[in-house]
Structures are given as structure tokens and as C-alpha cells.
Structure 1
């Protein structure tokens, strides 16, 4: 096996040796012990699939974020980060690199200050500590305890704990960064992942309690991250997008190479962690990076201003010496442009905005819900006696976010995408997969392949599938490809699937959505930065213009009356909910209606008829008994992705991995 190779997930990925578990802090180190189980895998009662299992346990919510650089969380994961802090549960942010850049804590300054990478890394740490302290306590100088801890990779890391809120932790692994968005830099996470270097060295911050340099091999980096996961036992993990795609014009990566390969190292660590016992089940959510700046703003002005306040604290805008550190109190490179390149005005999930993950069963009142936990399909079942589950089914490597459809004969098909980390870096790939229920049991995953040539061409950047079902039960699957066009595959009467073919479109963003009207006509919608395109008719082919204004890119579609469907979306730079109707198989939208009530927020809208459930301002769940009301019920609980609505109510997946069900008539 090449030195860069990793075992395939299908052959017990990364489990060649026991993974050390970080259990606690003892004498300045994180104690390493072998994992042991407090519950064996027991087949779930009433589950037809013999190898399906229940998660070990579902404790209190615990969120862990893995980023390449200090500030990735503030630009791309906030306001979700601040919401988790406000919720008061455990939050851990892990930074893979020191973020040392060129070592100059200034931008557009003449004369340029001398380079000092250790000092600049320390200044960025100071900025992050100030930003988190301010979000948590209102005081940017609230003190932290900084500790040097041993890692499973044989080096040491810095662990910071906010003294006033000890559930908030920062972990600094302090590896070298690439120092370039896309230029060839072998001494980087990219080079380490590809096997171009044997090990990546450290870049220690000037004030770090870690004093001795170290280096990690690829294996040691993954082991280190796996051990961090064991220490903090998250129920919800936030990552940047490991497949950000390429710029259509230049062919270069659409995001920073450290973001992309940092997320891939996190994927590998999560795959190893998922194979170990005695831990809670976890869900994963990915975030769009640099390219979110080229799309309409998704946040309302109030949320943008709050996000900017945090970024300005990180950027050390006032230049006062409140941290009393000669390295500086924040990142002055960001001070020149605290909103980045229109990044502060938005937040976008790359694969988990589906609103079609709950389906009605064959019997009255019966429901099924689907999500991804531990990289496996999780199902819940509702009968007259209530909800049971989750049950975890066979097949690992699933990406967060699935869609589902109900066939005319009552069976349910679930679709998603699956990542195979591969035996070599070149064999990393993502494919479209489906599973179909038979008598209530879900069979093995079937791969429908991928419209992509290989990972190098477009970084495997394909969307979550959108699916149409005709009256005979045959399915058609639509996927946005890495070239930002639509690709389609259709099921044939014998059960096999056609090769992927082009369905046109240009500059498509996010995930397409689909719905059928009562007459059996299909509608597929996909957003561009300027409008929404539609594929309509009994056998949708090439797209047509809808005439809709720009949206934030998060769409949902539902049947509407006897002859049409309704599209739900958000107004840019507002978060207000908007809707338009399409009828008689046509692609031209009715006049856009904006809902009253001033409910700002972001993400896709869960709808059934005119009943709505969505993410409101500040991440809170908001629901309305009908679209015309200005009276919304707000629930402060945080959730993953988007709500899914059916006639009797709606479901959300909490950050603790629990399904939450709310009847409309409660």
C-alpha cells in the first residue's frame, strides 16, 4: 500500500489498530485509554433488517467544530456558533493549523511589518479567545485557562477552557498552514493528504503552553482528531465542505485548500470514531466557504450586524492593548475587511437543507423519518402508539442530508450521497445511493454512480438528489454537478437505471428540489445567483426561466391543489419567507407573495399546504398554522438542517441526535 493510502471504509476504515480515547485532563495531559463498551449492539425490536442497530446512547447536546484556520468558524459557521454558545451546552472548536500566513499582522500597510509567524499565530489565537469570550459572557477579556496536552499523534496540543463558561473549549493542533488558497504548496494539509510529504510540521504560537515542535504523519493526524472526538464525545459535528468544487472560469479550487483538506481529514477521523463503542450517536453538517460570497446574502441585517461585531472583536479593530500581549490582540489582516468578501452576510449548509425526510406510511397515521447518524441511515417509525427509533441501518459513509419519496404502491425510497475515502487519495469519490423499503424493511444501498468523471475534475461536488416518481412508480433523479449544471438518471421498467445525462442549466447553486402535482406532472427547481430555473412537465427535460427574483438558494417545493405545486424560498438580505405557485405543468411563476409576521431567518422552509415550520432569526424554530398569519410560535431549541412537514405535523432533528415531533394542532 502506498504511504498515503488508507483502508477503504468498506473494509473497516482506519481500524487497523485500536484508537486511543481521550477521557479527561490529568496532570496537564489528556489521559489515553482504550475504548470499552457500556452497551452491546442489540438488534432493535421489530426491525426487519437483521443487522440494524440502535446507537449506544443519546446524551445531552454536545457540539464540536473542526476548522482549518482561526476565523473559519466566525466567517462561515456563525451565527450557528453563537447560537450553540447561547444554548449553554458543550461547544468545542478545533483548529487544525496555526493560521500563520506570512507572519505579518497587518494588511495594506506600508512599510510592511517584519514577518513573525509565531507572533501572528498568537495574535489570531488572542482574537478567537476574545471573540468567544464576548459571545459567551459579553466581556472580551474574560479569562481562559491554557493547557498543554498530549495527543494521540505523539505531539502536544493547546487546550483552552473559558473559566466563566467551562463548557466552551478551544483545541489548537498548530500544524502549518498552506499559505495560499490554491497554489501548489506540498508542505500543507493538501500535500499530507496526497502523500507528497511524509509528515507535516508544527507552527507554535508565541504564547502557547506547547513548547516543543513536532510533526504528524497522515495517520497521526487522523488519530489525533479521532482522539479529540473521543475526549469531547460530540452529538453534532460542524465541518467545512470537503468537496467545494472548482471555479467555472479559472478551474481553481472554489475554496481554500486548507478548508477542503482539513474537512477530509475530519471525515477520515469521523469514520474511525464511528466504528468505536461507548459513545453517543452524532450527525454532521457541512458549511460552504468562500463561494458563499458570490451568492445573494442569506442573513437579515440584525443577524449580519451581530456576526460583524464578533468579527470586529476578532480583528482587533480598536487596536487597544486589552490582552497585554506583545503579539497583538487579534487579526489585523481581517480588520481591513471584517466582512471578508461578502462572507459575513451569509451562512449556507452544503448538503442538509432537505425538507423531504419524513414520509407517510401505508397505514393511517403511520410515519417514517430519515436522517444520517454515524454516517449511516437512521430511521424512526411512528405508529398509533408513538414514535420508536432511531434504528441505524447497514452501510457507512453517508453524507449528511437525505431525501425520500413515496411510491404509488406505498413503498418508500430514500436517496442520498455517499463518500468513499478510497484506498488512495486519487480514489476519493462521492456517489448517489438509494435504498427501497420492502414490507417496511429497507434493503442495502444501491449506487447510481456519479455524473462526475473523477474527484480531481470537480472535487466530487454534487448535490443531494431531487427525485420525481411517475404514476407507474418509476423514478427520475436530478443532481446538480460540479460544473453547476443539472444531470439526470432515470429508472427503467426492468429496475435498472440509465447513464447520467445532461439536463442543461447554468450557474446552478445549492441543492435542487422536486414535487409532483395531483395530475402527475413533475416540477424540479434549482437556484442560480440571479433567479430560479424550472424543469417541468411529465418528463422534465431542459430548464425554463421562472421569472422569479433572486433567492438565498435554499428552496423547498410542495404539491398545491389539484393542478400545481408551490415553491418556498427566502428573500435575500432579509430572510423573509416568500412563495410562488406553478400550475398546469408550466414554468412561469405566479406573482411572488411575501409572508407577514417579519419572521427572518435562513435555510429551507418546511411546508405542508399553508402550514410552515422553519429556522427563524437566531436559529430558533418558528412555526405557523397557516401562511397568511402574522402570529408565529417560536421554540428556542436548535436543530440540524431544515424541518420536514407532513399533514399531521412536522419533525426536526435536534443537535443531540433526537427526533422532535410537533403536531400542527398542538
Structure 2
């Protein structure tokens, strides 16, 4: 018998009894008791640890294992409440057979319900292994009604009841890129009125259903309302197209499933008022196969081992299901197409969201609930509660820039969903303080260099911003053709049309910095190196693109002034170790590049924050960690997983302040004097 929402919440409350540090699905409040720190100034503030709850929404079973791991496994091991919702059953052609170097099977009969059940079995085994170390750890399978009018299967890991799987069980496209009407793509674009379910052979859901576009959006929003996450993980809604053939760089279900998630997070934020704030992290999919590996061998092997479990590679009947214990299609090649060796974010993977304002003040920006939030630290060192700029649809990630008079500008991209599918677009927006330390003005749109969503799926980067001595902005952007574009603010406050600055094969968000001589530098990574655009003098034109001769990177790039030049930070492929080099501009056509040195500790992934002699980034454990230039290449690790990338500012007195957004959607900071010390992170607002 299907569970009502109230009965389902009651079931979860019973299952989570005695589980410490777990957020209750029913209420979204912490179940473990603990007194808040008192106001006695002698009380030592608690160090930041992983907190909050995570909901992942993916198109198919295994998208989470290929593209969101190792973030997923580390969240599970930390005890974080993790729920993954699968939009489709991933039934494909219904043949559960391996064809590859690692395994090969004889031809199997086609049975989509049984193959979809086998994929579910593989997911349950992989999650059990990640969470408990035992792939056979038992699950309770239940049925719940959805907000969209259908039914979903919800599986609860009995040994770790904070781990849930939600199966919405819709029909998949059954093709990577062909325009099939019976698909998430067809439903989004209005080619079909409703998309039918594809039930698995063993599901407790016994009656089929279908969803209209609005019903599916509400069904996903209902999952978010039930679990009330502080971090939402999703796939990339704007992956782009390959220039040589016009094909999407990702599976169409990944892209359009992510657009449904975008619409659902907007609906959830608007409809549910009493809920925690949430951030959103999006992940790169198939395009990882064309880029250097971002994970170190040990992490990649651990990730692949979970995929082997999912793929039922040992072919032992340990689950007792007539459908099979996993997805044999993956058994032939458990690493996919170089997917297991990488993890990359497609938003919020830059370190430019923390900025100085008037003397002694700092401003930190991030996107919560689809709106830009900012925290202000006053000259006395106290952080204030976040304030939200008006206006929804802001994509994850922020760029902050200080104007000469102490005002701060914040830039981002905004997704406009629109009433019609063709209205979908992303545009660059910015807001500027009306006065130093004052309120921010309304968002202003800079538009987009894209002709329309169809041509490039709105696959623009996050903006980078430079400010000249007059306080005028220049905004840089990677377009969907992977070239550099710019708009320049005019003395009357308006902006030029989007200019073409060249380059090709650009992969990263562009980054910019100004050296001690006032020369502007702009950089972007390619598949094999880094390209530069620089000024010969402070008032000269921007020249480039120029090759730097730097080695391949894992894509994310950070730039910071360093004496007469700009220091770049990036990671070494197949290692994750942070590398750094100083680039010096001047009269020569090509900038001068120093030798490459290493900083940070072993492994890790994602962008790093850097200021002065201090570097902060994600270590191989997934925690936010710090290191110093010139010292031993070792991370000082925290106990906190986080979202996005750290950001850092070197203040006039020599203190480096570093900030990060936790999985709890809270700002966490530490301040280090000029002499390096082992940092302790704390919540900024206490």
C-alpha cells in the first residue's frame, strides 16, 4: 500500500532514531541534542565540521557514480544526510549484457523492466558499499505519492537511514542525442503532452503514471520539500555543442533533466517559505572524456571500485534478484569514457567571490535559493548575517570587484526560463553599491554574446571583471564557441557590444588580475595549456591570445597579483597537486613565464583560493585545506566538506582571510597572520 507523506515522514523518524548528527527528513532540523555556545568570551568556538544535508537529482542510475563522485562517497562517509533522486529508469534497450575489455557476455533477451531493476540493484549495492562498507547491507523499499500526481519508490538504507534513494521512474530517451519526442527533451520542448513511466520489474510501485511538464517540475520540487536540503547537486543544463558536428557535449537526458531541476528549485524556493537556505552545485558530464584527468590515481581507483560494484562485475548472485545484481553494460568498461578519472564543476568553481570594500571591510558573495546573498565583515572583524539581492534565477557562482572609491560590484549569470522553451537563455548581470558600504542597486543585464539557446545551449562561462582607474568595468566571458568575449563600460555608464578577443578551445572560466605596474592580465585554460591576454602598459590595449607554454591543467584557474607579475594557480592532471607560475607582461609580444613550482598537498581537485603566501583548496579527502607557498607541499586539512571553491583576500595589515561555503549553506572563514599557522575554520556568523 502506498505511503502517504505523513506516514513516510513518520517511518523515517523511526528509522533515524538514535542516529546522531542527522537531519530529519520530516522536519529538516537536527535530531542530535547540543547546546549552543554561550556568550562567555572564554568559551572556545567550535571548529567547523561537515554539516547540512544533500539532495542529488540525476537523469539515470550511474550518473551520480560517474560524475558526482568522489563528492558523493565523501558525503556518505561523513554521515551527512544524502538523498539521490533518479528521474528516469535508464532502461535503454533492455539488454543487461557486457561488451568490453573488462567483461563480455553472450546476447541477452531484451527486457526493459528487468534491466532497469538490475540498475537499481547495482545502485543500492554501490551506495551500501560507500556508506557501510558492505554491498549487501539491506534496504527498505517503500512507495510514496509525489507532488506531481504519480508515485515514486523510496529506498532507505536500514543501517544508515539518512541515506535515501528516490526513483521517479520515467521513460528515458533511449538515445544519447537524437531528437526523440518520448523523452525529457520532448516533454520540456512541448513535443509531447506527458511522459510515461517505465516501472522496474521489482518495484513496489504497481500502477503506471505519466507527468506533464508542470507535474514533473512539481514532483521534483516535492522531493526537495520533503528532504529540505542545504546543498542540491545536479547535472549541467547548458553543456554546449561540439563545433565539428553540432552534437550536444552531454547526454540529452542529462541536459534536459537538469533544466527540469532548475525549474523545480525555483518553484521550491518560491513555494516553501519555512526551509533552510540551499546552494546548488552542477557537474560536468560526458565532456570529461576530452579533458585531462582531474583525480589522482588512488581516488580514481576508489571511485572505479564503486562502479565495479554497480556494474556487478564479479557476476556473483549475492542479491537474489532474478533481474541481476547490477548494470552489466558498465561491467565491460567500468571507467566509462575516461569519466571515472575526473570530477568537474560547471558553476561556482572560481575564487573571485570575496572582495575588500572600504578600509577594513570585506564582502563575500554566493548564491542561495537562486538569489545572490552577501555577507559583510565590518572593520572590527564581525561578520553580519547574509542579505539577499532581489531577483531570482541567479546561477551558482559570483564574481566580486572593488571600485576605486571603495564600492563593490558583483557579477553573475542569470538563467531566464521563460514561458516558452525557446525563451530559455543565460545572460550576464551585475549590481553595484549605490555608495561605499551602502546598499546594492538593482541587477543590470549585460545580455549575452549568444544568438540563442539552440545554437550553443547557452553554454557561457561565469564572468570575470576588471576595473580601471576611472571605476569602469570590463567584463570577460567564454562563449559557447570556446572563444573569449568582452564588454567595456563607457564613461556614460553604458556598455559596448560584445567584442571578440579570439582564442580557441577555451575550457575554463576566464580569470583576470592587475599587476603592480597597473597592467591587466586575462587568462583561460585550454585542453593542453593556458592562453594569455596582457597589456604592455597600464593604458595600452589588451594583446593576445598569446601562448604561455604552461603545461596542461585540470581546467580551473586562479590568478592573483604577485609583484611585477601575476601568479597563476592550477592543478596537475592525474595528480591534483597545485602548481603555480608567475607571468610577467611587458613590451615583448609574448609575456614571460617563470618555471612551474608545486604548492599544496598531495592530490585534490577544483579551483583554489590564493592570497599572499597562502593557498586554500580541496584536498584528496574532499575537505577544505590550506597550505603556504615556499613551505613543504602538504595540506593542513580541516574536517569540513564544502561547495564550490574557497576564496581569499590579503588585507593591508598582512592578514589573509579565507572563506568557503559549507554543505550547510553557511559561510565559514579563518584569518591567518603573515606567519603561517594551522588554521581553524569557524562559522562566520555565530
**How far is the alpha carbon of 1:584 from its aligned partner?**
3.2
CA displacement 1:303-342 (0-9 Å, x = unmatched) = 1011001011101010000001110000000011111000
How far apart in 2 are the matches of 1:437 and 1:627?
38
Residue 77 of structure 1 corresponds to: 68
Q: Which residue of 2 aligns with 1:104?
A: 95
For 1:634 and 1:208, the matched residues in 2 are separated by 43
Deviation at 1:171, TM superposition (A): 0.1
5 Å-filtered alignment, 1:134-145, equals 134-145=129-140
Q: CA deviation at 1:421?
A: 0.5
1:325 and 2:321 aligned: yes
Cα contact 1:176–1:188 (8 A) shared by 2 = yes
Contact 1:36 1:278 in 2 (8 A): no
How far residue 605 of structure 1 moved from its aligned partner, in angstroms, is: 1.3
Q: Mark the CA change 1:580 to 1:419 in structure 2 (over 3 Å): closer, same or farther.
A: same
Give 1:448 shift: 0.1
Find 2:308's aligned residue among 305, 312, 315: 312
Instruction: Name the counterpart of 2:585.
Output: 584
**Residue in 1 that maps onto 2:207:** 212
- d(CA) in 2 for partners of 1:37, 1:97: 26
1:295 paired to 2:291:
yes
**Which residues in structure 2 correspond to 1:503-518 (within 5 Å)?**
503-518=501-516
What does the per-residue CA deviation read over 1:485-515, in whole Å, with 9 as the maximum and x for residues that have no partner? 1111111111100011211000111211111
What residue in structure 2 maps to residue 469 of structure 1? Answer: 467
Q: Name which of structure 1's ranges 235-244 and 109-118 shifts more when overlaid on structure 2.
A: 109-118
Q: Does structure 1 conserve the Cα–Cα contact (< 8 Å) formed by 2:249 and 2:286?
A: yes
Q: CA 1:436–1:124 in structure 2 vs 1: closer, same or farther (change >3 Å)?
A: same
1:63 and 2:65 are equivalent in the alignment: no
Question: What's 1:226 paired with?
Answer: 221
Matched with 1:16 is none
Name structure 1 gaps, 5 residues minimum: 1-20, 39-58
- 2:662 pairs with 1:654: yes
- Give the CA deviation at 1:37: 14
Match of 1:89 in 2: 80
Contact 1:146 1:209 in 2 (8 A): yes
Going from structure 1 to structure 2, the CA distance change for 1:347 and 1:490 (only over 3 Å counts) comes to same
Cα distance change of structure 1 residues 374 and 110 upon mapping to structure 2, 3 Å threshold: closer
Distance change in 2, residues 1:29/1:227 (3 Å)? farther
Corresponding residue of 2:548: 546
* Larger displacement relative to structure 2 (594-603 or 172-181): 594-603
Q: Which residue of 2 aligns with 1:523?
A: 521
Q: Distance in 2 between matches of 1:569 and 1:443?
A: 34
Which of 227, 230, 238 is 1:235 aligned to?
Answer: 230
Q: Which moved more, 1:249-258 or 1:101-110?
A: 101-110
Q: Tell me the residue number matched to 1:25.
A: 8
Q: Any conservation in 2 of the 1:477–1:488 contact (CA below 8 Å)? A: yes
SS of structure 2 residue aligned to 1:476: strand
1:386-416 Cα offsets, whole Å, 9 max, x none, are 1112111101100000111111111111111
Q: Distance in 2 between matches of 1:154 and 1:649?
A: 49
**1:593: Cα distance to partner?**
2.8
Compared with structure 1, are the counterparts of its residues 656 and 84 closer, same or farther at alpha carbon in structure 2 (3 Å cutoff)?
same
Aligned with 1:494: secondary structure? coil
Q: Are 2:175 and 1:180 equivalent residues in the alignment?
A: yes
Looking at structure 1, the residues matched to 28 and 254 of structure 2 have their Cα atoms a distance apart, in angstroms, of 34
- 1:571 corresponds to: 572
**In the TM superposition, what is the alpha-carbon distance from 1:589 to its structure 2 partner?**
4.7
Unaligned runs of 5+ in 2: 14-25, 30-49, 651-655, 674-678, 680-686
TM-aligned CA deviation for residue 595 of structure 1: 2.2
Does the aligned pair in 2 maintain the 1:189–1:261 contact within 8 Å?
yes
Aligned with 2:375: secondary structure?
Answer: strand
CA offsets 1:331-375 (integer angstroms, 9 cap, x no match): 000011111000000000011111011111212x21110000011
Assess, with a 3 A threshold, how the Cα gap between structure 1 residues 37 and 351 changes in structure 2: closer, same or farther.
Answer: closer
Query: 1 CA distance for matches of 2:402 and 2:600?
Result: 33
**1:22 Cα deviation from its structure 2 partner:** 5.3
C-alpha contact (below 8 Å) 2:194/2:211 kept by paired residues: yes
Partner of 2:623: 620
The DSSP-based 3-state class of the residue aligned with 1:636 is strand
Change in Cα spacing, 1:368 to 1:27, as seen in structure 2 (3 Å) is closer
SS at match of 1:134: helix
User: SS of the counterpart of 2:187?
Assistant: helix
Distance 1:650 1:240, change over 3 A: same
- d(CA) in 2 for partners of 1:151, 1:241: 24
Look up the match of 2:403: 407
Output one character per residue of 1:579-626: Cα deviation in whole Å (capped at 9) or x when no partner: 111113464353333325643110111111221111110211111244
Deviations 1:433-480, CA, capped at 9 Å, x for gaps: 000012221111100000000000000000001111112211111110
Q: 1:27 to 1:659 in 2, by over 3 A?
A: closer
CA distance in 2, matches of 1:357, 1:317: 44
The whole-number CA distance in structure 2 between the counterparts of 1:286 and 1:471 is 36
1:36 positional shift: 12
**TM-score w.r.t. structure 2 length?**
0.88
Cα displacement (A) at 1:630: 3.6
The answer to whether the 8 Å contact 1:37/1:278 transfers is no
- Say whether residues 1:264 and 2:272 are aligned partners: no
1:604 to 602, 607, 613: 607
Whether the 8 Å CA contact 2:53–2:231 is kept in 1: the answer is yes
C-alpha change, 1:312 and 1:111, in structure 2 (3 Å) is closer
Quote how far apart the aligned CAs of 1:91 are.
0.4
Indicate if the aligned counterparts of 2:599 and 2:629 stay in contact, CA closer than 8 A: no
Shift of 1:385: 5.0
Answer yes or no: is the 8 Å Cα contact 2:355–2:362 preserved in 1.
yes
Say what the alpha-carbon RMSD is for the aligned residues.
Answer: 2.0
Matched, 1:558 2:560: yes
Whole-angstrom CA distance in 2 between matches of 1:632 and 1:135:
25
Residue correspondence of structure 1 range 110-149 to structure 2 within 5 A: 111-149=106-144
TM-score (norm 1): 0.90
- Whole-Å separation in 1 of the counterparts to 2:106 and 2:342: 34
SS of the equivalent of 2:208 reads: coil
Per-residue CA shift, 1:162-211, capped at 9, x if unaligned?
A: 00000000000000000011012100000000110011001101100101
Equivalent pairs, count? 620
Aligned to 2:44: none
The separation in 2 between residues aligned to 1:22 and 1:660, in whole angstroms, is 34
8 A Cα contact 1:625 1:664, kept in partner: no
Counterpart residue number, 1:392: 388
